[in-house]
Amino acid sequence: MKSINYAASLLVAFSCLLLADASADEQSAAYEASFQAIVDDLNEDSFELFHRAISKNDMTQRIVSAQMISQQARNMLDESFEGGIQEMFVEAFPSAQGKSIQGTLISFQTEGDRGTAVVRFGLPNYRYAYHVFELQLASRDRVVIVDWVNYLLAKRFSERAAEQLVAVLPSEAAVRRVFAMPGADENQAFQMRELLKAYRDNQGERFFAIVDGLDEGLQNNPAVYEREFRIAERVQNPERYQKAALRIIANKADDPLFVLSIADYHLMAGDYQSALDSLDKLGAAIGVQDAATASRQSALALALANTSEAERFALLATQSEPDFELGWWSLLRARSGAGDNEGSLEALTQLEDHFGHELTEAKLRRDKFRGFAALAAS
């Protein structure tokens, strides 16, 4: 009898655990749906739900505590909080060239009253930005955006916003803190202040001239070469971009924040193996292996004449996100490159049946993804 009662107790306990897990899954799904609605709203060029999900008081406190911000800059933030947040969010996509940016929620995880969401944003020329959002899970399935890390710019939003506000009226003490130079003399502080102003105003030539006048120690300051890297990309100065990129690689190669920047540089420089190695680290950095990264890796492997790896990465892309079109193009090209006609037919069928293409021989010769990542991998 005791054994029967014990077994019954175990069954009841197990059933309760299953019910609890099901309830937790349902709750997590509800929070995910709420965040998906925010992404959908952004994709419609609306920031209404995005603004509603951010606590003005909490975000303001995070920003002003990150740096020494003048009272005037604080007042500016307070007076135009939503407009300022929106402007800084959009400015994070310098290569968008005024085009609408489409986001895809590729991961959503919850633990207790906290959540993490990863959103991939598609950019021109087959580049991608990844934002990892830190969330507070509130009542009524509402999510609160606490902060987010932008892996394209290698910066947390609140920190970047604070640095931009410092640049509005950069005091000597604030400049010393931005550049982590508490012992800087008056002349060095002046140079750094002018550097911040040039960066703020996107004055590339002025910025580079100031950098060239710095001693080697200051040129090797992370806050200097990281800004040089960003402004060189914005003003399209390849020589300065390469110079700053090499400093980042020398000092930040193992920093998860910079793996995407380093991969993009290697790709631009035509160093496909190094780009592939850098992209290998991206999944660990953002917490998810996504189809866009796998597709890029497939193209890189194909450019390196490694058709088996190209197919492996393409399969990762199609299996992780079957609705991601570029994954199927990657699989088609990988299998075509390997001479696998039967396998190519599977990808071809998906592109025609699922994505609506009519792929004649002439169209395949000029497929719209042929120039993917500027790789000569056809």
Confidence at residue 101, expressed as pLDDT on a 0 to 100 scale: 80
Q: How many CA atoms lie within 13 A of 311 on its CB side?
A: 13
| Residues 200, 107 share a domain | no
Comparing C-alpha atoms, which of 322, 268, 257 is closest to residue 294? Answer: 322
Residue ranges, the chain, pLDDT below 50: 16-20, 371-378
SS3 labels along 320-354: HCCCCHHHHHHHHHHHHHCCCHHHHHHHHHHHHHC
| Residues 23, 152 share a domain | yes
Confidence at residue 376, expressed as pLDDT on a 0 to 100 scale: 33
Backbone phi, psi, residue 67, to 5°: -145, 175
Confidence at residue 17, expressed as pLDDT on a 0 to 100 scale: 45
| Residues 290, 363 share a domain | yes
Q: Domain end: 191, 210, 245, which one?
A: 245
| Residues 157, 214 share a domain | no
SS3 labels along the chain: CHHHHHHHHHHHHHHHHHHHHHHHHHHHHHHHHHHHHHHHHHHCCCCHHHHHCCCHHHHHHHHHHHCCCCHHHHHHHHHCHHHHHHHHHHHCCHHHCCCCCEEEEEEEEEECCEEEEEEEEEEHHHEEEEEEEEEEECCCCCEEEEEEEECCCCEEHHHHHHHHHHCCCCCHHHHHHHCCCCCCCHHHHHHHHHHHHHHHCCCHHHHHHHHHCCCHHHHCCHHHHHHHHHHHHHCCCHHHHHHHHHHHHHHHCCCHHHHHHHHHHHHHHCCHHHHHHHHHHHHHHHCCCCHHHHHHHHHHHHHCCCHHHHHHHHHHHHHHCCCCHHHHHHHHHHHHHCCCHHHHHHHHHHHHHCCCCCCCHHHHHCCCCCCHHHCCCC
Backbone phi, psi, residue 317, to 5°: -65, -50
Q: How many CA atoms lie within 13 A of 88 on its CB side?
A: 24
Confidence at residue 25, expressed as pLDDT on a 0 to 100 scale: 83
| Residues 113, 184 share a domain | no
Confidence at residue 377, expressed as pLDDT on a 0 to 100 scale: 37
Comparing C-alpha atoms, which of 251, 253, 279 is closest to residue 267? Answer: 279
- In whole angstroms, give the CA distance from residue 117 to residue 108: 4
Altogether, the residues listed in the chain come to a count of 378
The reply to whether 3 falls in a domain is no
| Residues 90, 40 share a domain | yes
**What are the tokens at 33?**
């749906």
Comparing C-alpha atoms, which of 339, 344, 351, 276 is closest to residue 309? Answer: 276
| Residues 203, 129 share a domain | no
Confidence at residue 375, expressed as pLDDT on a 0 to 100 scale: 39
The tally of domains found in the chain comes to 3
Q: Domain end: 228, 245, 262, which one?
A: 245
**What are the tokens at 171?**
């005091």
| Residues 273, 220 share a domain | no
| Residues 148, 260 share a domain | no
Backbone phi, psi, residue 133, to 5°: -95, 135
The CATH number that applies at residue 336 is 1.25.40.10
- For residue 154, the tally of other CB atoms under 10 A from its CB is 21
| Residues 134, 37 share a domain | yes
The reply to whether 9 falls in a domain is no
Range of the domain at 117: 16-163
Kindly report, residue by residue over 120-147, the tens digit of the pLDDT.
999 988 889 999 999 999 998 999 999 9
| Residues 260, 303 share a domain | yes
